[in-house]
Amino acid sequence: MASFLVFTSYIVVIFCVSNGYINGVDAARAFFVFGDSLVDNGNNNYLASLARADSPPYGIDYPTGEPTGRFSNGLNIPDLISKELGSEPTLPYLSPDLRGKKLLVGANFASAGVGILNDTGFQFIEIIRIYNQLDFFEEYKKKLSVIIGDEKAIRLVNRALVLISCGANDFVNNYYLVSNSLRSRQYDLPEFVNYLISEYKKILRRLYNLGARRVVVTGTGPMGCAPSELALRRGPNDGCSTELGLAASLYNPKLFQMIVELNRELGSDVFVVVTMDVNGVFENEFVETKKACCGQGPFNGIGLCTLASNICQRREDYLFWDAFHPSEKANKLIVEKIMTASTEFIYPMNLSTILALDSKINNVV
Ligand SMILES: *[C@@H]1O[C@H](CO)[C@@H](O)[C@H](O)[C@H]1NC(C)=O
Ligand SMILES: *[C@@H]1O[C@H](CO)[C@@H](O)[C@H](O)[C@H]1NC(C)=O
């Protein structure tokens, strides 16, 4: 049941940034976000979805102290990137507040529980599958055109930063959801990984065709080390899950390869891949890297995070907030890495390099 009600996500990010003039106002670069619970700012609040984070103690460290639908005790990765851009956080696309001038900030289309495949996350009932997120993006562009005109709308989108996170749920909430799953009978693991990567490539191409020109794509991170996986299928000596570790070790290099290929085909570094090895990188930054701050059962990795759960006192000591998701402090460290790390973490360049590069280009235009 635990993995049933969970919505992971690790990292494939897409970034597009801009520093353009919109209607004579020096607007910050717009920001668009796609994918799963790692980056959902609250779209699922508006759906009949089982994958939701709109009850306490979610949001306990958010500026308002209230739950917002973010799968974090506080800020999530998109919030922290918005800060780097000098922008307010992106609103969920389904929020009634996303209209008028707010559209110029960008939008967040992400929905907890989704994966690359359409059959991933069916158990959450209502989610916005990735193709629907792209359909909403098309709809968004039309709304934007009405406000600022076609030409400026296209420019805003071309100059935007885009972040996309998906893939982990295709393993956790599909292939490995139950033993002997439909997908695991259809494909062995290497075949499934190849299938995911080829489907993901189509999604990224569509994003490009819709005007995205700087897209940060996150890898899955060490999926097998999340508290839920430690609770359900830990390896020897309370180590990470061997099968999910194997899945990540097959998927992430293939993702990297696909991104390199795609950029070559497009003749430009549109896509930037983040290799999200959270545990390895942040081991020394936390007192507790295995157990979730909020949850129950072994490693606090079973079931949902609610007010009835164990909740840790010092949230900044924990790598994981709940059974699947990083704590705010972990999100801060991840975004710091995205900004400044070397090509081993983010390839072919880090976000501060991208921002510097693109602001030069955009100032010339
Ligand atoms: C998922 O659904 C979309 C649209 O509904 C479709 O275009 C796409 O081919 C589907 N993907 C797979 C792998 O079947
Ligand atoms: C990443 O960013 C930092 C600081 O912003 C910069 O000094 C560094 O050279 C960059 N690294 C790479 C590999 O581009």
Domain of 270, in residue numbers: 7-364
For residue 349, give Cα distances in angstroms to 114, 220, 266, 337: 27, 19, 17, 11
What length is written for the chain?
365
Q: Is 210 helix (H, G, I), strand (E, B) or coil?
A: coil
> Tokens 């406000």 label which residue?
147
162 found inside a domain: yes
> The tokens of 294 are what?
């909020």
1 found inside a domain: no
Ligand 2 atom with the shortest distance to the CA of 352: 5
Total tally of structural domains belonging to the chain: 1
148 found inside a domain: yes
Q: How far is it between the farthest Cα atoms of the chain?
A: 61
Task: Among 353, 358, 359, name the best residue to mutate to test ligand 2's pocket (greatest count of ligand atoms within 8 A of Cβ).
Answer: 353
Residue 118 in contact with ligand 1 by CB distance below 6 A: yes
Ligand 2 atom with the shortest distance to the CA of 342: 13
Residue 357 in contact with ligand 2 by CB distance below 6 A: no
Ligand 2 atom with the shortest distance to the CA of 350: 1
Ligand 1 atom with the shortest distance to the CA of 199: 13
Res 280: pLDDT: 64
CATH number for the domain that contains residue 333: 3.40.50.1110
Q: In sequence order, what DSSP letters do the residues of 267-310 get, joined into one string?
A: TS--EEEE---HHHHHGGG-SEEEEESEEBSGGG-BS---TTSE
Say which ligand is closest to the CA of 349. 2
Residue 336 in contact with ligand 2 by CB distance below 6 A: no
Q: Is 173 helix (H, G, I), strand (E, B) or coil?
A: helix
- Ligand 1, atom 5: closest residue by C-alpha: 131
Q: How far apart are CA 161 and CA 137, in angstroms?
A: 14
2 found inside a domain: no
253 found inside a domain: yes
Residue 349 in contact with ligand 2 by CB distance below 6 A: yes
Res 364: pLDDT: 46
Q: Helices 328-340 and 351-364 meet at what angle, rounded to 10?
A: 60
Phi, psi of 302 (to 5 degrees): -110, 135
Nearest to 120 by CA among 190, 195, 191: 195
- Ligand 2, atom 6: closest residue by C-alpha: 340
Residue 342 in contact with ligand 2 by CB distance below 6 A: yes
Res 363: pLDDT: 56
Q: Where are the alpha helices (DSSP H) in the chain?
A: 77-85, 130-148, 150-159, 168-170, 182-186, 189-209, 227-233, 242-266, 278-282, 328-340, 351-364
Task: Among 336, 340, 347, 358, name the best residue to mutate to test ligand 2's pocket (greatest count of ligand atoms within 8 A of Cβ).
Answer: 340
Q: How far apart are CA 155 and CA 143, in angstroms?
A: 14
Fill in the amino acid letter for 142.
K
Catalytic residue list: 37, 322, 325
Q: pLDDT (tens digit, 0 to 9) for every residue of the chain, 365 residues total?
A: 333 333 333 333 333 333 344 443 446 899 999 999 999 999 999 999 999 999 999 999 999 999 999 999 999 999 999 999 999 999 999 999 999 999 999 999 999 999 999 999 999 999 999 999 999 999 999 999 999 999 999 999 999 999 999 999 999 999 999 999 999 999 999 999 999 999 999 999 999 999 999 999 999 988 999 999 999 999 999 999 999 999 999 999 999 999 999 999 999 999 999 988 665 668 889 999 999 999 999 999 999 999 999 999 999 999 999 999 999 999 999 999 999 999 999 999 999 999 999 887 765 43
Residue 81 CA, ligand 1 centroid: distance in Å: 30
pTM to 2 decimals?
Answer: 0.92
Radius of gyration of the chain (CA): 19
Q: How far apart are CA 15 and CA 32, in angstroms?
A: 8
